[in-house]
């Protein structure tokens, strides 16, 4: 049995993967990606982002999103939809205009409305807002287009629009990295969730991206503590973008340490009662986002370039 079958037997809702459009013509890749025994859930790694969905204001293009979503549905896989609002991968028309607050709120609502309706029947969950908190010591809100023009209110507006236009029952998530242990950032996110719950702003989940580095990843205990932060607020969590990068060149010691990091976070998700599923941010090393973003690092995934399962794969499957 593959990872998804094992994960479901262990009580999780799914084990899934992100899939990028660039690799859709690779037959070996696709045979693994579409195998529901391995992956019961799929996230488009890029295809549903603003720059592709609304490349010109008011003109919507679902080609890249559909390339991932439609075959996943055919294969019986759940979809985590990603994302409505982010500071990255925005089209130039959006970032180069001096919007008034009310005009930008209108743009936000219109975008969510169209994309939510197009994927109305498709999404188990939507990452409504992605990475709104900064990496500064205080974990302030990120100074981006949204905060500058609308103010902190943009986050709750996005959640309200998402609830209005997505299918009832769609899980609405806040998604971020660096919140997999108790620190200033996860504390701020938890405070936001608590405030949303108190004021009736619709939120169902917190996505812990779980982009880790060998040697610097949170321990099992660290992660359990972070899960507790969220479970006591009555939201579910998921590991939404799990990968574990290592410094190149790769070697067997690094791969063993990497496997341990995969195992620790899988076990923490299994043991915590808020954590519904695990998504790896791609499963095949050559297509990982890591080398481009973190020069000198790579091989962050669970299948190597030859489509051989790595120690990390077996560490996860042994645990499940």
130 is an interface residue for ligand XIL by CB under 6 A: yes
In angstroms, rounded to a whole number, what is the distance separating the alpha carbons of residues 189 and 178? Answer: 11
Sketch the per residue contact string, 7 through 36, with ligand XIL: x for CB under 6 A, - otherwise.
-------------x----------------
In angstroms, rounded to a whole number, what is the distance separating the alpha carbons of residues 73 and 79? Answer: 8
In angstroms, rounded to a whole number, what is the distance separating the alpha carbons of residues 283 and 315? Answer: 14
> Measured from the CB of residue 130, what is the shortest distance to ligand XIL in angstroms?
5
Cβ distance 79 to 41 under 8 Å? yes
Residue 21 burial (CB count, 10 A): 16
Annotated active-site residue in 115, 131, 156, 180: 131
For 140, which DSSP code? P
45 is an interface residue for ligand XIL by CB under 6 A: yes
Q: Would you state the structure tokens that stand for residue 35, as one six-digit string?
A: 């195998």
Site for ligand XIL in 233-272 (CB under 6 A): 241
Q: Would you state the structure tokens that stand for residue 23, as one six-digit string?
A: 């690799």
Is 241 catalytic? The answer is yes
- Would you say 104 or 129 has its CB closer to ligand XIL? 129
107 is an interface residue for ligand XIL by CB under 6 A: no
In angstroms, rounded to a whole number, what is the distance separating the alpha carbons of residues 227 and 220? Answer: 11
Closest residue to ligand XIL, Cβ-based?
Answer: 289
Cβ distance 161 to 111 under 8 Å? no
Annotated active-site residue in 38, 156, 180, 241: 241
Cβ distance 100 to 150 under 8 Å? no
> Measured from the CB of residue 151, what is the shortest distance to ligand XIL in angstroms?
23
Is 38 catalytic? The answer is no
> Measured from the CB of residue 192, what is the shortest distance to ligand XIL in angstroms?
17
How many H-runs (helices) and E-runs (strands) does the chain carry? 13, 10
> Measured from the CB of residue 45, what is the shortest distance to ligand XIL in angstroms?
4
> Measured from the CB of residue 267, what is the shortest distance to ligand XIL in angstroms?
23
Q: Which residues are catalytic?
A: 131, 241
Contact positions vs ligand XIL (CB under 6 A) = 20, 45-46, 130, 209, 241, 289
């Amino acid at each position: 049995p593959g990872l998804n079958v094992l994960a479901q037997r262990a009580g999780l809702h799914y084990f899934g993967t992100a899939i990028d459009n660039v690799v859709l013509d690779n037959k070996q890749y696709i045979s693994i990606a579409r195998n529901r025994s391995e992956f019961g859930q799929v996230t488009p790694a890029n295809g549903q982002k603003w720059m592709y969905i609304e490349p010109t204001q008011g003109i919507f293009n679902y080609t890249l999103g559909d390339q991932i979503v439609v075959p996943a549905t055919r294969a019986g896989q759940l979809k985590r939809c990603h994302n409505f609002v982010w500071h990255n991968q925005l089209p130039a028309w959006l970032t180069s205009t001096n919007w008034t607050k009310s005009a930008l709120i209108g743009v936000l609502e219109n975008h969510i409305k169209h994309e939510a309706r197009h994927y109305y029947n498709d999404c188990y969950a939507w990452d409504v807002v992605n990475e709104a908190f900064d990496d500064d010591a205080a974990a302030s809100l990120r100074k981006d287009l949204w905060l500058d023009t609308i103010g902190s209110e943009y986050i709750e507006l996005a959640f309200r629009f998402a609830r209005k236009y997505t299918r009832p029952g769609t899980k609405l998530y806040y998604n971020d990295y660096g919140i997999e242990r108790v620190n200033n950032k996860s504390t701020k996110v938890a405070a936001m969730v608590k405030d949303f719950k108190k004021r009736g702003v619709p939120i169902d989940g917190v996505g812990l991206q779980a982009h880790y580095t060998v040697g610097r990843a949170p321990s099992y205990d660290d992660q359990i503590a972070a899960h507790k932060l969220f479970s006591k607020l009555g939201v579910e969590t998921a590991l939404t973008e799990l990968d574990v990068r290592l410094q190149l060149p790769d070697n067997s010691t690094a791969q063993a340490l990497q496997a341990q990091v995969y195992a620790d976070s899988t076990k923490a998700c299994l043991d915590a009662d808020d954590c519904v599923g695990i998504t790896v941010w791609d499963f095949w090393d050559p297509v990982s986002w890591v080398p481009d973003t973190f020069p000198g690092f790579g091989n962050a995934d669970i299948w190597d370039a030859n489509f051989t399962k790595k120690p990390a794969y077996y560490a996860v499957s042994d645990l499940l």
